[in-house]
Amino acid sequence: MKKRELIKQHLSLLNINELLRYRLLLCSGEQNEDLELDISDLFKYPARLETSYVDNWQKDVLKFLFRYLEEEFESPRQLDEKIADVLSKKMFSEKDNRTLNIFESFLASMQSSNVVMIHSSLHRKLDKLNF
- What pLDDT sits at residue 124? 67
- What pLDDT sits at residue 99? 94
The long-range contacts involving 59-62, CB below 8 angstroms and separated by at least 24 positions, are: 60/23, 60/26, 60/27, 60/30, 61/11, 61/19, 61/22, 61/23, 61/26, 61/27, 62/4, 62/7, 62/8, 62/11
Classify 107 as helix, strand or coil.
helix
Domain residue extents for the chain: 3-128
- What pLDDT sits at residue 114? 66
Per-residue pLDDT of the chain (131 residues; tens, 9 = 90+): 789 999 999 999 999 999 999 999 998 776 557 899 999 999 888 989 988 999 999 999 999 999 999 888 888 999 999 999 999 999 999 999 999 999 999 999 888 766 555 566 666 676 777 66
- What pLDDT sits at residue 128? 76
- What pLDDT sits at residue 109? 87
